[in-house]
Structure 1
Amino acid sequence: MPIAFSKYHGLGNNFILIDNRHQAEPLLSQAEAIEWCDRNFGIGADGVIFLLPDTNSQESGQGNGHVMRIFNSDGSEPEMCGNGVRCLAKFMQDLEIKPIAADPTNGQPNPHYKLQTGAGLIGLQLDADGQITVDMGEPHLLAKEIPTTLVDAEEKAIAIDLEVAGQTWQVTTVSMGNPHCITFIDDVAKIDLAAIGPQFEHHSAFPQRINTEFIQVRDRNYVKMLVWERGAGATLACGTGACAVVVAGVLNNVCDRQCTVNLPGGDLRIHWSETTNHVMMTGPAVKVFTGLQADGIN
Structure 2
Amino acid sequence: MQVPFIKMHGLGNDFVVLDGRSAALPTIDAGLAAALANRHTGIGCDQLVVLEPSTVADLRVRFFNADGTESPACGNATRAVGLLLGTAATLETLAGVLHAAPAGDGIAVDMGEPRFAWEQIPLAYALDTLTLPVGWEDLTQPVAVNVGNPHVIFFVPDCQAVPLDRLGPLIEHDPLFPERVNVNVATVEGRSAIRLRVWERGTGLTLACGTGACATAVGAMRRGLVDRTVRVTLPGGTLTIAWGEDNRITMTGPATESFRGTFELGRFAA
Give your verdict on TM over 0.5: yes
- Indicate the residue corresponding to 2:256 in structure 1: 286
> Structure 1 unaligned runs (5+)?
58-62, 94-98, 100-111
Q: Do structure 1's residue 115 and structure 2's residue 91 form an aligned pair?
A: yes
3-state SS in 1 of match to 2:174: coil
CA displacement at 1:122 relative to structure 2? 0.2
The residue type paired with residue 121 of structure 1 is V
CA displacement at 1:126 relative to structure 2? 1.2
Deviations, residues 199-220 of structure 1 (Å, cap 9, x unaligned): 1101111111000110001111
The residue type paired with residue 21 of structure 2 is R
- Report if aligned partners of 2:130, 2:143 keep a CA contact under 8 Å in 1: yes
CA distance in 2, matches of 1:75, 1:116: 20
Deviations, residues 212-266 of structure 1 (Å, cap 9, x unaligned): 1100011111010000000011001110111111110011111111000000000
**Structure 1 pair 26–180 and aligned structure 2 pair: CA distance change class (3 A):** farther
CA displacement at 1:68 relative to structure 2? 0.3
CA distance in 2, matches of 1:168, 1:287: 36
Residue number among 244, 254, 261 corresponding to 2:225 in the alignment: 254
- Indicate the residue corresponding to 1:176 in structure 2: 147
Residue number among 115, 127, 137 corresponding to 1:140 in the alignment: 115
CA displacement at 1:150 relative to structure 2? 5.6
- Report if aligned partners of 1:28, 1:296 keep a CA contact under 8 Å in 2: no
- Report if aligned partners of 2:173, 2:180 keep a CA contact under 8 Å in 1: yes
Moved more, 33-42 or 137-146: 33-42
CA distance in 2, matches of 1:88, 1:278: 20
Residue number among 55, 77, 85 corresponding to 1:92 in the alignment: 85
TM-score scaled by length of structure 1: 0.86
Q: Do structure 1's residue 47 and structure 2's residue 19 form an aligned pair?
A: no
CA distance in 1, matches of 2:238, 2:224: 21
CA displacement at 1:151 relative to structure 2? 2.9
- Report if aligned partners of 2:31, 2:269 keep a CA contact under 8 Å in 1: no
> Structure 2 unaligned runs (5+)?
none
- Report if aligned partners of 1:221, 1:260 keep a CA contact under 8 Å in 2: yes
- Indicate the residue corresponding to 1:239 in structure 2: 210
CA displacement at 1:162 relative to structure 2? 1.2
3-state SS in 2 of match to 1:136: strand
- Indicate the residue corresponding to 2:29 in structure 1: 29
Q: Do structure 1's residue 126 and structure 2's residue 102 form an aligned pair?
A: yes
The residue type paired with residue 253 of structure 2 is G
Deviations, residues 18-68 of structure 1 (Å, cap 9, x unaligned): 1111467764322111111111111110011000011x21xxxxx31x100
3-state SS in 1 of match to 2:134: strand
The residue type paired with residue 20 of structure 1 is G
CA distance in 1, matches of 2:67, 2:202: 5
- Indicate the residue corresponding to 1:271 in structure 2: 242
**Structure 1 pair 47–157 and aligned structure 2 pair: CA distance change class (3 A):** same
3-state SS in 2 of match to 1:160: coil
CA distance in 2, matches of 1:182, 1:143: 14
CA distance in 2, matches of 1:89, 1:120: 16
TM-score scaled by length of structure 2: 0.95
From the two aligned structures, give the one with the greater strand fraction: 2
**Structure 1 pair 151–25 and aligned structure 2 pair: CA distance change class (3 A):** farther
Deviations, residues 122-158 of structure 1 (Å, cap 9, x unaligned): 000112x231000001100000100013635xxx411
CA distance in 1, matches of 2:48, 2:237: 22
The residue type paired with residue 190 of structure 2 is D
Matches within 5 A, 1:158-197: 158-164=130-136, 166-167=137-138, 169-197=140-168
- Indicate the residue corresponding to 2:195 in structure 1: 224
3-state SS in 2 of match to 1:134: strand
Q: How large is the Cα RMSD of the aligned pairs?
A: 1.6
